[in-house]
Amino acid sequence: MESKKTIRNLLGIVVCMFAFGWLLIPIYDVFCEITGLNGKVTGPSFLSESSKAMEQREVLIQFMTHNNESMPWTFESEEVQMRIMTGSQQEAIFVFKNTTDREMIGQVIPSVSPGRGAEYFHKTECFCFERQTLAAGERIELPVRFIVDPALPKEIGSLSLGYTLFDITDQFTKKDKIANL
Amino acid sequence: MSTVVETHDHGHHGPAKGLTRWLFTTNHKDIGTLYLWFSFLMLFIGGSMAMVIRAELFQPGLQIVQPEFFNQMTTNHGLIMVFGVIMPAFVGLANWMLPMQIGAPDMALPRLNNLSFWLLPMAFGILISTLFMPEGGPNFGWTFYAPLSTTYAPSTVNFFIFSVHIMGISSILGSINIITTIFNMRAPGMTLMKMPLFVWSWLITAYLLIAVMPVLAGVVTMMLMDINFGTSFFNAAGGGDPVLFQHVFWFFGHPEVYIMILPAFGIVSHIIETFSRKPIFGYSSMVYAMASIAVLSFVVWAHHMFTVGMPLAGELFFMYSTMLIAIPTGVKVFNWIATMFRGSITFETPMLFAIAFVALFTIGGFSGLMLAIVPADFQYHDTYFVVAHFHYVLVPGALFGIISGVYYWLPKWTGNMYDEILGKTHFWLTFFSVNLTFFPMHFVGLAGMPRRYPDYALQFADFNMLISVGAFIFGLTQLLFLFIVIKSIRGGKKARAEVWEGAENLGLEWTIDSPAPYHTFTVQPQVK
Amino acid sequence: MAVFADMSDANMAVGVTEVSKEIFDLHMLIFWVCVWIGVVVFGIMFWSLWKYRKSKGAIAADFDDNFWLEIGWTVAATLILVVIAIPSTTVMVKAYDDAEGEINIMVTGSQWKWHYKYLEDGISFYSNLSTPQEQIDNKMPKGEFYLKEVDQPLVIPINKRIRFLITGNDVIHSWWVPDFAVKQDAIPGFINTAWTNVPTPGIYRGNCTELCGIKHAFMPVVVRAVEQDEYDAFVAERILLAENEKMLTSKDWTAEELFERGESFYQTNCVACHQVNGQGIPPVFPALEGSQIVLNDAPRQIEILMEGVQGAAMASYADYSEVDIAAVITYTRQAWTNGENGDGVIVTPQDIVAYKNKIEL
C-alpha cells in the first residue's frame, strides 16, 4: 500500500527530529564557543599573530566570586578589579578555603560579561571546570593567568569575570556508589 | 469549488453495543467523539484550576490557598489546557471531519487511531494523580524551566516527565495517521489545491507536530537524566547551562502554539464562507499563509527569552523574524473580512463565534506584535501583559475556533439542530466574560504585575477583582455549553444533509445524511 | 499622550531614565499603530457585517480573489512593520550599551531574597521583603507598599552610570525595576549585565520576574536613588556597620540581648519557612519548636546555620555576622516552649568565631 511509504518517511522524520533535539546540545556549545555568547569560556586559548601586532589599550577587568547555594567554602579574589593593558600577560590570585570539617570537592564555573568579550579573554592558566578537592580546613591559592586580546572591540571598556563555586562532592560519592554496585 | 456525485452509504453493521465499543473502536467518528468528550472533561478540570487561581487573586493577601498549591494550580492549568483541551479537541474535530471532507471511509490507520486516543487518559491520569501525592504535583510552570524543574523539583517530576512522553507519543502517532490519510486517501479528483482549508490546516499542523514533539521528548529526557542520573545538561555546576533548556524547550514551544491555532484558522475559514454565502477569498493565499506561518515558526523561538542575556545580534534577529509572522497572519485576517465583504450574511451561533474569533484573535495578534519589540518587551516580559496576549489568542482564538466548529458540525454528528437561542446566549455570555476576564490583564501587566504571582501589591487589586468576576462567569457559562451539547444529542429540530443553506457545494460532509451514518464513503465519490 | 503616561495603574511606567522614557515612547507608538490598524480593519469588518446582512436583502457576490488587492495589503503590512522596526532597533542598541560602569553592583537572586555587593566599596547586604506576615495572612490591614518594601533597599547615587552584574544562587530569578526599564534574568553559574543612569532621586520599586518557587511573589526589588553626598554617607555607614559587627562579636552578650536581636533576625529571615510560631511546614520546612536539635544539640544547630543542609532548602547563613547567627540560634532555643523544654544552652558570637577557628588549620 502506498501508505506504507508515507508512514516510513514520517517515522524517519520523527527519529531525525528526536536526534536533532539531542544534537542541539553540541550545536549550542559550538555556537557559544565560536561567538563567545553566554559568556562561556571553555579552556585556555592564545593570541593570534595579527592580534599581537595590534595597538594596546587599557581595559578594566573586574573579578566577582560567588558561592552557589550553600557552598560553605571561603572563595575570594585578591583583587576585585584591575586596570590592565591588552596584549600583556596578567595574573589574578584566588583564595579557596574549606571551612568545614570534612573533605569536599568544588568546581568553579566562569562567566564573562559582556558575552561577546569572552572570545577576547585568553586564559593561559585557570582553575575553571577543574575539580578542586580540599581537605577539612585546607586553604589554597590558585591563579588565573590571562591576556586580553588587543582586538577586543573598542565599545567594550571593561570585562567582568564572574566565578561561581559549586559543591560537587555529592556527585562523586554517588558515582562511586554506583560504580561499586 | 467542485461538484460531487451522490453516494449513499448503507452501513453493513452498526456500532458495537456497550462500553467495550468505546474501548475497542476503530471508527473515526467514535474516536472523534472520544477525543471531544475527553477534551470537554479536561476543560472543566483545567478550568477548575483556573477558578482556584482567580479565587486566590480576587483580593490581595493569601486567603484560599498557599503559594505551594497555587504554583501547582498555575502549572497544571497550563499543561491541561494546552495538552488536554486544545490539542485533543482539534484532533477530535480532525478525526470526525477529515475522512468525510476528503471522501474517505476512515483514517489510514484505524487501530493506531484508537491507541492514540487511549494514551491520553493514561497520560492525564498520571499527571493529575501527582496532585494527590505527598510532595504535590508539578509546580514549576507549564514551561518547566531548569533548574527549578530539575534540581529543585518535587520527586513527582518523574511522573510529569513520563506523562509528557505519553502525550507526545499520542500526538506523533495521531499526526502520522493524519498525514497518511490526507496524502493517500483523497477521493479521485481532489487535488491538493482543491482540499478544504480545514484539511490543509491539519496537514500543516501534523507536520509541525511530528517535527517538534520529538524535540520535546528529547528535552524532558534530558531533564530526567539530570534529575536521576547525574548528568549536567542544564546544571551549571557540571558545565551545563540552564539557558540551553530554554532554547530547546522553546524550539518545541513556539511551533506548539501554532499547532494550537492553525486548525482554528481552517475551521473559521469554512464557517465564514458558509454564513457569508460566498467562497473564501484568496484560497491559495490562505494555504501559502498557513505554510509560511508554519515554516517561520521554527525561527522565532527566542522571543520567549529576550531577558535571558542574549547578545544584541541574537535579540534583533528574533525581533525581526517574529515581526515577519505578522504578515501571513494579517493576510488571513484580511481574507476573512474580504469574504464577508459583499456577502449575504446570517448570524447563526457558529458565525458569531467565528466573527468574534477574527476580532479577538487579531487583538491577541496586536499584543503579540508589541511583545516582539525587544526593548519594550523588557517591560512586558513575565508580566500579565504576556498572560493577556496568550489568553486572547488561545481562548477567543483557539477555543472559539473549536466551539464554532462544534456548533457548525454538531447537526451533522447528531442529526439534530442545537437550540439556536441557547447557542446565542452561550455566545454572548462567553464573549462578554472572556473580555471582562482577559482585557484588564493588559492593564495590570503594563502597570507592573508579574505573572505566576499568588499575591500582589495593592495598586493591582481593582483590576484583579474584575478579572476574577469575569473568570467565574466564563467558567459557569461553559456549563451552559455542556447543556446545549447534551440537549442536541438527545433531540431537536431535524437537520437536513446540507444542514446550512448552500453548504452542499462547500464540502463533501454536506452531501451525506445527518446524522452521518456510522460508515461513510465506503464507495469513493468522484470530485470534479 | 500625556494622559496615558499618567495612567500608572493601567499603563507602562514612563520611568525616570532616558532609556525608560524611550521605551515608553516606543510602546505608545506601537500601541497607536495597532489601534489605527484595528480601527480600519474592524471598521471594514463591522461595516460589512452590517451592510451585507441577508436579512436586509444582501445578495452575495461571487468573487473570490483579487491579485493586486492582495499584493497591496501584503506590501502595506510589510511597510508598517519596517517602519516599526527602525525605532525599535535604535532604542534597542541604546539599551544594550556595554560601556564601563562608574559603580558596579553584583546582584544575586536567591530563594527568596536579593543580595547586593558593591564591588568598588566592598559593602554588601541582603534585601528581604519587610511586609509583615500578618498583613499577608489578612490579620492586619495592608500597608501602602504591601509586597513592595524591603528591609534594606539598594542605594545608588543619581547621575552615575551604574552597572549591574546579575547572577542567581539556586534557580533562575529575574531582577526588574520598571522605572529604569531594567530586567535581566539571574541565572546560576552565569553573569548577566544591565546598566542604568538615574537622574532623579526617589524610591523605585520592582519585582522578581521569573518563577522561582513558593516565595516568587515575595522578593521585591527596591532601589533608592540619592544625591552623591547622601550616597557617600550610606557607604560610610555600612562600612562602619561591618566594623561594628566585628566589635560586637567580642562583647559580652546577655541571653536577653541575644534573644531580642535574634527575634528580629528570625522575623526577617526565617519566618518564611519556619513560620512565626516555629511550627514550620513539615516535611519540607522542619518545626523548630520541639526539635531535638534546637532543644539539645547546639553544636549541630551551629553547624546547620553555618553550612546549610545538603539536599534540603536550608541554606548556609555563614554570610551573616557572628552576632546575628548566635542571636537567632539563641532565640530559637528560648522561644515558644523551647525555653522550658530545652537544655538551656545559649550560643554567643564567640561560639560562632570558635566554630570558624576550630576548623581552620
Minimal Cβ distance to B210: which of A10, A28, A35: A10
Average pLDDT over residues A140-167: 88
- Site of grid cell 548566635: C326
Helix (H) or strand (E) holding B139: none
What does pTM read for this prediction? Answer: 0.90
> Which chains have 3 or more CB–CB distances shorter than 8 Å to chain C?
A, B
SS3 C176: strand
HSE-up of residue B344 (Cα within 13 Å, Cβ side): 14
- A82 and chain B: CB distance < 8 Å anywhere? no
Least reliable range by pLDDT among A9-13, A55-59, B64-68, C85-89: A55-59
Closest residue in A to B220 (Cα) is A21
Mean pLDDT, chain C, whole residue set: 91
Residues of chain C with Cβ-Cβ distance to B76 below 8 Å are none
- What is residue C214's predicted lDDT score, i.e. its pLDDT? 94
CB contact under 8 A, C34 and B366: yes
Cβ proximity of C211 and C50 under 8 Å: no
CA–CA gap between residue C105 and residue C117 (Å, rounded): 6
CB atoms under 10 Å from CB of B37, counted, come to 14
- What is residue C5's predicted lDDT score, i.e. its pLDDT? 55
- What is residue B78's predicted lDDT score, i.e. its pLDDT? 97
Q: Mind telling me how many Å the CA of C151 is from chain A's nearest CA?
A: 22
CB contact under 8 A, C41 and B334: yes
SS3 A150: coil
CB contact under 8 A, C169 and A111: no
CB contact under 8 A, A69 and C315: yes
CA–CA gap between residue C117 and residue C113 (Å, rounded): 13
- What is residue C358's predicted lDDT score, i.e. its pLDDT? 66
CB contact under 8 A, A129 and B239: yes
Interval B256-284: pLDDT, tens: 999 999 999 999 999 999 999 999 999 99
Cβ proximity of C165 and C104 under 8 Å: yes
- What is residue B7's predicted lDDT score, i.e. its pLDDT? 44
Least reliable range by pLDDT among A97-101, C5-9, C57-61: C5-9
- What is residue A180's predicted lDDT score, i.e. its pLDDT? 43
CA-to-CA dists, residue C133 to B375, B461, C1, C244, C273, angstroms? 36, 19, 40, 30, 11
- A66 and chain B: CB distance < 8 Å anywhere? no
The pLDDT tens digits along chain B (528 residues) read 444 444 444 445 677 788 899 999 999 999 999 999 999 999 999 999 999 999 999 999 999 999 999 999 999 999 999 999 999 999 999 999 999 999 999 999 999 999 999 999 999 999 999 999 998 999 999 999 999 999 999 999 999 999 999 999 999 999 999 999 999 999 999 999 999 999 999 999 999 999 999 999 999 999 999 999 989 999 988 888 999 999 999 999 999 999 999 999 999 999 999 999 999 999 999 999 999 999 999 999 999 999 999 888 899 999 999 999 999 999 999 999 999 999 999 999 999 999 999 999 999 999 999 999 999 999 999 999 999 999 999 999 999 999 999 999 999 999 999 999 999 999 999 999 999 999 999 999 999 999 999 999 999 999 999 999 999 999 999 999 999 999 999 999 999 999 999 898 899 999 999 899 999 999 989 887
Which backbone phi and psi does A106 adopt, to 5 degrees? -120, 165
Least reliable range by pLDDT among A79-93, B344-358, B416-430, C237-251: C237-251
Q: Mind telling me how many Å the CA of B479 is from chain C's nearest CA?
A: 29
CB contact under 8 A, C318 and A72: yes
Interval C181-197: pLDDT, tens: 999 999 999 999 999 99
CB burial readout C265-276, b (16+ within 10 A) else e: bbbbbbebbbbe
CB contact under 8 A, A113 and C100: no
Interval C116-153: pLDDT, tens: 999 988 899 999 999 999 999 999 999 999 999 999 99
- What is residue A34's predicted lDDT score, i.e. its pLDDT? 67
SS3 A78: coil
- What is residue C320's predicted lDDT score, i.e. its pLDDT? 85
Interval A29-68: pLDDT, tens: 887 766 656 555 554 566 667 766 778 888 989 999 998 8
Cβ proximity of B69 and B138 under 8 Å: no
Closest residue in A to B222 (Cα) is A22
CA–CA gap between residue B227 and residue B238 (Å, rounded): 13
SS3 C174: strand
Closest to A163 measured CA to CA, from A33, A53, A60, A62: A62
CB contact under 8 A, A115 and B309: yes
Minimal Cβ distance to B344: which of C59, C148, C171: C59
CA-to-CA dists, residue A42 to A85, A128, C111, angstroms? 23, 8, 29
Percent with pLDDT over 90 in chain C: 70
Diameter of chain B by CA atoms? Answer: 68
Tell me the pLDDT band of A179, cut-offs 50, 70 and 90: very low
Strand partners, A83: A60
Q: Mind telling me how many Å the CA of A30 is from chain B's nearest CA?
A: 12
> Which chains have 3 or more CB–CB distances shorter than 8 Å to chain B?
A, C
Diameter of chain C by CA atoms? Answer: 98
- What is residue A118's predicted lDDT score, i.e. its pLDDT? 82
- What is residue A41's predicted lDDT score, i.e. its pLDDT? 57
Q: Which residues of B are catalytic?
A: 77, 106, 142, 170-171, 254, 256, 258, 269, 303-304, 329, 332, 451
Residues of chain A with Cβ-Cβ distance to C356 below 8 Å are 99
Q: Backbone dihedral region of B448: left (phi > 0), alpha (psi from -120 to 50 degrees) or beta? A: left
Interval C323-359: pLDDT, tens: 999 999 999 999 999 988 888 888 998 888 888 776 5
Residues of chain B with Cβ-Cβ distance to A14 below 8 Å are 172, 176, 210, 213-214
What is the sign of the dihedral through the CA atoms of C182, C187, C188 and C192? negative
Q: Mind telling me how many Å the CA of A33 is from chain C's nearest CA?
A: 15
C-alpha cell at A35: 561567538
CA–CA gap between residue B123 and residue B517 (Å, rounded): 32
Minimal Cβ distance to A10: which of B179, B217, B243: B179
- What is residue A39's predicted lDDT score, i.e. its pLDDT? 58
CA–CA gap between residue B8 and residue B520 (Å, rounded): 8
CB contact under 8 A, B179 and A175: no
CB atoms under 10 Å from CB of B522, counted, come to 14
- What is residue B9's predicted lDDT score, i.e. its pLDDT? 47
